[in-house]
Amino acid sequence: MFTIVDAIPGFATFEDRFALDKFNQAQTTWENINEQYRVLASTIGAGSEQAQAKKKELDLAQQQVYYWQGIVEEQKKDDNTVYLYLVPDVNKRIASNQNYYTCNLNSFKLTNAEKTGILDLIEESGQRVLTVDNAIMTLKYPRFVLNVSLIIFEGYELSSIRESIISKTSDYFLRNTRRDRIPASDIVRIIENIDGVDSVTVWFDADKNNISLYQDNYGIDSYGDILLQRYVDDAFGNKVPVKDLYPLIRGGWESYKGIYYDDSIQKDKLSNVNIQLRGVTPVDLNSQQNKTIVSNL
């Protein structure tokens, strides 16, 4: 049913720690303000201007305590909750004439009904640990596109090579199970093995809205890899890692440079996969010998 299955204990999730830290902070703030109010009320009277102002501050602090207490209770923040990171097997959800770049985006996401069905299935199978609650994580989907620059050998058709690139990279992204990064080198290796390709350069571009997830970048590191881990501030301002991302190599957005990519694989516009021919290598004895040497290393 899934290409990626990961289980994260409740106490290890960012949301759990954040909510609990915020509740503890709110409780401490309320206790401090309450002590200050009691001192004012006992020394200059509860009806004094200073005490009344402190009482309003105390009421606001109490509201924060109630708010974060509700968040903690609603999310069942306890060590016995296991959060499931699930990515459905898209190959089982799309028609035979579709691929990674053309299928409906909902194919990558579980519906609420499917999540309920999965949890019910675990329950009915008798495999659930009685002291453990299961919850399915709500994933976030940063978006990227793939850009390719090619030098091909003489005698090969770019259109045929383009179709192979789309097909093979589609298979890669559908089967990918990495949880740390998507290396640009993986894509280079795939394309270099396509018949007719002499050399290739690849790079990803990112949706400008990715900044809302990654905070200080768009999800691509200095080496050109897509990052599958983001960092967020906890309740104390510390950076903590969170792995709730599933990147989509799909367009329909604008980059921070103002470049718009269409969610398609059309040749005549910037889209999910953009392939540029930058040269043709004549096939002679030297090039054939060198290709053999590289293959045997």
Does position 80 have pLDDT exceeding 80, yes or no? no
pLDDT of residue 10: 61
Strand segments, DSSP code E, in the chain are 2-9, 81-88, 133-136, 143-153, 181-182, 197-206, 226-227, 230-233, 239-242, 248-249, 253-254, 260-261, 273-281
pLDDT digits (tens, 9 = 90+) for 6-60: 877 665 566 666 777 888 889 899 999 998 988 888 888 888 888 899 899 999 9
Q: Give domain limits for the chain.
A: 1-139, 143-296
pLDDT digits (tens, 9 = 90+) for 119-149: 888 777 766 555 567 778 888 999 999 999 9
pLDDT of residue 12: 54
Helix (H, G, I), strand (E, B) or coil at 77: coil
Instruction: Identify residue 295 by its one-letter amino acid code.
Output: S
pLDDT of residue 131: 56
Strand segments, DSSP code E, in 30-166 are 81-88, 133-136, 143-153
Q: How would you classify the pairing of strands 197-206 and 143-153?
A: antiparallel
Mean pLDDT across the stretch 85-112? Answer: 90
Please calculate the CA angle 210-213-218 and round it to the nearest 5 degrees: 40
Residue indicated by tokens 């799909």: 250
Does position 152 have pLDDT exceeding 70, yes or no? yes
Please return the burial class of 130, using the count of CB atoms within 10 Å of its CB with bins 0-12, 13-18 and 19+: exposed
Mean pLDDT across the stretch 191-210? Answer: 95
What is the C-alpha to C-alpha distance for residues 219 and 226, in angstroms, rounded to an integer? 6
